[in-house]
Every structure is written in C-alpha cells, then in structure tokens.
C-alpha cells in the first residue's frame, strides 16, 4: 500500500477501529501527540490499538467525513469530522469530534502523528 492508500483505508474503511490493520501499519516506535479538550497526551502503538478496541466496543459504526487531504513527501494532513452510531441508536450518525491530523511515514509505516481535536 502507498502512504495515501494507508491513510484512506484508515479513515474511509474504518481502519481506526481495526486492531489488526493498525498493528500492520504503525511503526513499532510510533508516537501520537494529541491535543484535545482534555489536554495534551502522547500515545504509543499499544495505546492506539487499545483505543481501537475501545471504539469498536462502544460504537456500532464509525465514519470519517474528510474535508481536506494533503500529501507532501512522507507526510499526510487530514481534516475530518468523526461520526459514530451508538448501540442505543444504530441508525443515526452523531458527530463526536472535529479533527486535524498530520501523519509522518517511515519505511511505509506511520511513525509519528500529531492530532488536534475538539468535541462537536
């Protein structure tokens, strides 16, 4: 997969909740620096895989509405709205966050991420 195909699968095919896919595409030394309404956090590959499993358990479906996708060299920037369906209401997507993420690649794997999010 190209870097673009990896990120497209991550967002368009619900790869965010696919722990097998994440284990394949995240570098062993992966780190995500995440600024959110809860503050600044740093997450490892293991943290992201655990988050994927948590998202899978808590939401029936997940959808990323991408508004911007910019690729340059080994970096990709994505701006999107994250929408989910809940167990209580599996037919209606609810927006839970607005996100901007920058992904850096090394050896065809995601090595670093920088993400800013805010709740809807």
Is the CB of residue 78 less than 8 Å from the CB of residue 62?
no
Output the pLDDT for position 53. 93
- Domains within the chain, CATH numbers bracketed: 3-119 (3.10.450.50)
Segment 69-83 shows an average pLDDT of 97
CA distances (Å), origin 78, targets 68, 91, 92, 100 = 6, 26, 24, 6
Residues 6+ apart with CB under 8 A from 110: 6, 25, 26, 27, 30, 103, 104
Segment 103-108 mean pLDDT? 96
Would the pLDDT of 9 be above 90? yes
Average pLDDT estimate for 74-90 = 95
How high is the pLDDT of residue 120? 78
């Amino acid at each position: 997969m190209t870097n673009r195909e990896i990120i497209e699968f991550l967002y368009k095919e619900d790869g965010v909740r696919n722990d097998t896919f994440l284990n394949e595409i995240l570098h062993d030394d992966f780190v995500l620096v995440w600024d959110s309404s809860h503050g600044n956090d740093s997450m490892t590959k293991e943290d992201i895989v655990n988050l994927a499993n948590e998202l899978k358990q808590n939401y029936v479906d997940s959808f990323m509405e991408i508004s911007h996708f910019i690729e340059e060299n080994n970096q990709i920037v994505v701006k999107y709205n994250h929408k989910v369906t809940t167990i209580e209401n599996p037919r209606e997507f609810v927006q839970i966050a607005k996100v901007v993420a920058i992904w850096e690649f090394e050896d065809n794997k995601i090595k670093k991420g920088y993400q800013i999010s805010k709740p809807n």
